[in-house]
Amino acid sequence: MTSAVSVPNELIPKHAERLLSHPVGRDDLALAFSESSASSAEVLVTGDSFFPRMLDDIRAASSSVHVNQFGFRPGLVGDMFADALIAKAAEGVPVRVIVDRRGSDPERAGRGLYERLVSGGVQVWVVRAMQVRARCGQLGAGGVNRWNLGALGHVDHRKLTVVDGRVGWVGGAGIEDHFQDGRFHDLFVRVTGPVVAQVQLVFLASVRWLGGEVRLSSLHDLFPVLEAGGAALRARVLQNAPGRFRPVTTELVRLLEGATETLDVVNPYVTDRGMIRRIAQAAERGVRVRLFVPGKVNHGGCESALRYHHARLLDAGVRIIEHPAMLHAKAFVRDGEEVLAGTCNLDAWSLKRFFEIDLQLWSRDVAAQFEERFSAPAEKVSRPGQPLVGGTRRLKATAFATLSPLL
C-alpha cells in the first residue's frame, strides 16, 4: 500500500530540494497537498480557445517550460507546440516534457516529431506502462533496458503545463488535432498564484522518478514566491498516483455524496457502478443533476456500459445531456461553488490505476464561468439521453456493464 507524502504549502520548495537531491521511488509520487490559493482561475473551452493561450504562455517563458501530456502527437497542433518548445530551448530556457508511450507513441507513429524535439534541445521522458522491460532515462540518450514492474499498468493520463513556475494549466485535452478542429470537445483551467507550486512539484517528482536530473540551483526559478492577492480563490491539486493513494477518487465520492442543490457531471467514460449509483442518489435526494456525456463515445464498450444505467439514472431524475461531438472533458461542479476539473474519468482505469491530476477550486465565479462557457452552450447543441430499447442493445449493454471493472 502506498502511503501519502504530505507536503505543507510552505515546505514545497524544501520538499523539491529533497526530490532533486535523492533517488525518487514510486512511493514518492503520492504527494498529498493541503488547501492553497490561486490569484486567478480561468475556464477555457475548446482547442481554439485554450491552445493559443497556452502557446502564448510558452512563448513568453523566461526560466522553464514543463509539459506532461498523455497525447502529444504529430499534426498541425503538435507541430505548433514543437516549434514553440524548440524555440524556447534554443533561447536557453530549460524545456522538459513527459509523455505516455501509449498516448503519444514517440518511437513509432510520432518518431519524427520526437526526433525533432530531442534534436532541438527539448528534454523528453516517456512513461512506459505497457512494457515489462523498458528503456530508462531521457529519450534519445541511449538508456538501458530494465525491468519496469513498478510502472506496469499505470498509464500517465495527466495533461498539465507549468511555465516559469508562475502559470499552471490542467485539463483533459491532448496536444492533438482533434481537440482543435471540434471533433473532440474539451477544456483546460489556467491558474496563477501559490497553487501553481503544487502542480510544479507533481511534475518534478515525475521527472526524477523517470531518471531526470534537475539542478538544485534552479529551485528559486522553479518555485518563485507567489502572492495570492486580495481576491484569492481557494484551490488545491489532487493527483492519483500508483498504489492506493487516490485522492481524486476520494474527493469525487465526497463531492457526489455532498451535493445539496445542484450537481453537474461532465465525463466521457462513465462506467463505475459506485459512481453511477452516487449520481442517481444525488438526484433522488432532490439535487438537480445534469450528466454531460458524448452522444457517441469513441469507446463502444464504455458507451454500452453507461447506456445500461440510463433507465435507472433517468428514473432518479438525472438529466442526461448527450453532446454531438466526442465530449472528452472531465469536470464536476457542486452547488455552484466547487469545481473539480482535470483528467480523471469515471471508469476503473482512471479511478484505480492511472496517473491522474485534477484541480479543485472553491469559487462561485469559476463555477459561473463553467456554466457560461461550457454547460449552457453544451445544452443548446445537445440532445437528451434516452433509455435503451431493443433486445440486442440491452444484451450488449448488460455484458459491458458486467465487465465495467475492466473498462
Indicate which CATH number applies to the domain containing 391.
Answer: 3.30.870.10
Distance CA 406, CA 402 (A): 9
Q: For 269-290, what is the mean pLDDT?
A: 97
The tally of domains found in the chain comes to 2
Amino acid of residue 69 = Q
Same domain for 219 and 151, yes or no, is yes
Q: Average of pLDDT values for 51-60? A: 98
- Claim to verify: residue 82 and residue 108 sit in the same structural domain: yes
Cell of 13: 520548495
40: phi then psi, degrees, rounded to nearest 5: -155, 155
For residues 252 and 231, membership in a common domain is answered with: no
Range of the domain at 387: 247-406
170-198 pLDDT tens trace: 999 999 999 999 999 999 999 999 999 99
pLDDT of the residue at 281: 98
> Which of 221, 240, 259 lies at the terminal end of a domain, its last residue?
240
Position 9 pLDDT exceeds 60:
yes
Residue 23 sits in the same domain as residue 93? yes
C-alpha span between 203 and 104 (Å, rounded):
18
Please indicate, yes or no, whether residues 220 and 263 belong to a single structural domain of this protein: no
CA distances (Å), origin 176, targets 82, 158, 181, 219: 12, 14, 9, 31
Give the closest residue to 15 by CA, choosing from 268, 288, 178, 208.
208
Last residue of a domain, one of 204, 221, 240: 240
Does 135 have pLDDT greater than 60? yes
The pLDDT confidence band at residue 141, using thresholds 50, 70 and 90, is confident
- In 3D, which of 278, 284, 43, 291 has the Cα closest to residue 173? 43
- The pLDDT confidence band at residue 387, using thresholds 50, 70 and 90, is confident
User: What pLDDT is attached to residue 147?
Assistant: 82
- Average pLDDT in the chain: 94
Looking up cell 514553440 gives 84
- Regarding whether 273 and 162 lie in a shared domain, the answer is no
Residues 297-327: tens digit of each pLDDT: 887 788 888 888 899 999 999 999 999 999 9
At residue 313, the 3 state secondary structure works out as helix
Residue 195 shares a structural domain with residue 277: no
Q: Looking at the structure, do residues 231 and 252 belong to the same domain, yes or no? A: no
Is the pLDDT confidence value at 1 over 60? no
Mean pLDDT in residue range 152-170:
96
Residues 154 and 287 both lie in one domain: no
Identify the H or E element spanning 275. Answer: helix 273-284
Q: Which of 212, 240, 268 is the last residue of a domain?
A: 240
| Co-location of 304 and 265 in the same domain | yes
Q: How confident is the model at residue 263 (pLDDT cuts 50, 70, 90)?
A: very high
Residue 169's alpha-carbon distances to 69, 115, 358, in angstroms, are: 11, 25, 10
The whole-model pTM stands at: 0.95
Query: Residue 245 corresponds to which cell in the numbers above?
Result: 493513494
Amino acid in position 109: A
Identify the band that residue 400 occupies on the pLDDT scale cut at 50, 70 and 90: confident
pLDDT in tens, 34-46: 999 999 999 999 9
| Residues 261 and 349 reside in one and the same domain | yes
Q: Which residues contact 407 (CB under 8 A, 6 or more apart)?
A: 269, 271, 299, 301, 302, 305, 347, 348, 349, 400
Work out the percent of the chain whose per-residue pLDDT is above 70.
Answer: 99
CB 343 within 8 A of CB 357: yes
- As a whole number of Å, the CA-based R_g of the chain is 21
Q: Let me know whether 256 and 233 are in one domain.
A: no
In Å, how far are 7, 18, 161 from 24, measured between CA atoms?
15, 9, 21
Q: Are 362 and 258 in contact (CB under 8 A)?
A: no
> Can you say whether residue 214 is alpha, beta or left, with left for phi > 0 and alpha for psi between -120 and 50 degrees?
beta
What is the Cα–Cα distance from 357 to 200, expressed in whole angstroms? 12
What value does the mean pLDDT take over residues 143-152? Answer: 80
